[in-house]
């Protein structure tokens, strides 16, 4: 790529030198006007010379590859975004449950929340695993504020044990 750019700049410089020399030796009058027009054409050709080297048959193939790669990158980015959103929701809900438990006077070991994809196209907290003695008040808070039903709350230590 740098070789192409170097050759293009050298071509432009050579054309400019050629035009200056022609202008210096051309007498004034109608010949000078023709010389200026021809130098304009020479400079235009030198400026546009890289275009002639383009492989137009391969251009469409390369464009199609670029589009495919862009779609793949977009899909990967969406997957990463979805994964990060899910992880963020799960971690924030688990932290909320821990904080709420401490406010209610209990000290759970670990809390894990599982998020699921809704039909509306968003992640929502669906299940919670709580390593603690069952606490009705905390269970009700989890259901009211996070929407995780009592059936989807899994307590590792039952009050019946």
| Residue predicted with more confidence, 53 or 21 | 21
The secondary structure element, H or E, covering residue 153 is strand 153-157
Residue 26 has pLDDT above 80, yes or no: yes
pTM recorded for the entire structure: 0.52
C-beta of residue 139 within 8 angstroms of C-beta of residue 150: yes
| Residue predicted with more confidence, 58 or 38 | 38
Long-range contacts of 117-122 (CB under 8 A, 24+ apart): none
- pLDDT tens by residue, 103-158: 988 888 899 999 998 888 888 999 999 998 888 999 999 999 999 999 999 998 74
Determine the pLDDT at residue 55.
63
The CATH number given to 81-157 is 3.30.300
Determine the pLDDT at residue 1.
60
Calculate helix-pair angle for 2-25, 30-52, nearest 10 degrees. Answer: 170
Q: Where are the alpha helices (DSSP H) in the chain?
A: 2-25, 30-52, 56-103, 136-146
Determine the pLDDT at residue 151.
94
Say how far apart CA 32 and CA 119 lie, in whole Å: 76
Q: Shortest CA distance to 142 belongs to which of 123, 155, 156?
A: 155
Determine the pLDDT at residue 32.
84
Given CA atoms 114, 98, 89, 134 in this order, what sign does their dihedral have? positive
What ranges do the domains of the chain cover? Answer: 2-54, 81-157
User: In which residue are the tokens 């977009």 written?
Assistant: 74
- pLDDT tens by residue, 52-108: 766 666 777 878 888 898 888 888 888 887 778 888 999 999 999 999 999 988 888
Determine the pLDDT at residue 161.
45
Determine the pLDDT at residue 93.
93
Q: Shortest CA distance to 125 belongs to which of 102, 142, 105?
A: 142
């Amino acid at each position: 790529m740098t070789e192409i750019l170097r050759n293009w700049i050298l071509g432009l410089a050579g054309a400019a030198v050629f035009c200056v020399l022609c202008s210096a030796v051309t007498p004034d009058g109608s010949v000078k006007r023709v010389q200026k027009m021809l130098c304009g054409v020479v400079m235009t050709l030198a400026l546009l010379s890289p275009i002639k080297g383009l492989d137009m048959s391969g251009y469409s193939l390369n464009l199609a590859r670029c589009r495919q790669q862009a779609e793949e990158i977009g899909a990967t980015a969406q997957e990463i975004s979805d994964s990060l959103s899910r992880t963020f929701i799960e971690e924030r809900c688990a932290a909320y449950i821990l904080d709420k438990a401490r406010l209610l006077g209990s000290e759970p070991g670990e809390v894990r929340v599982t998020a699921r994809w809704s039909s509306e196209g968003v992640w929502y907290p669906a299940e919670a695993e709580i390593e603690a003695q069952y606490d009705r008040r905390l269970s009700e808070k989890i259901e009211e504020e996070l929407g995780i039903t009592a059936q989807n709350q899994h307590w590792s230590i039952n009050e019946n044990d």
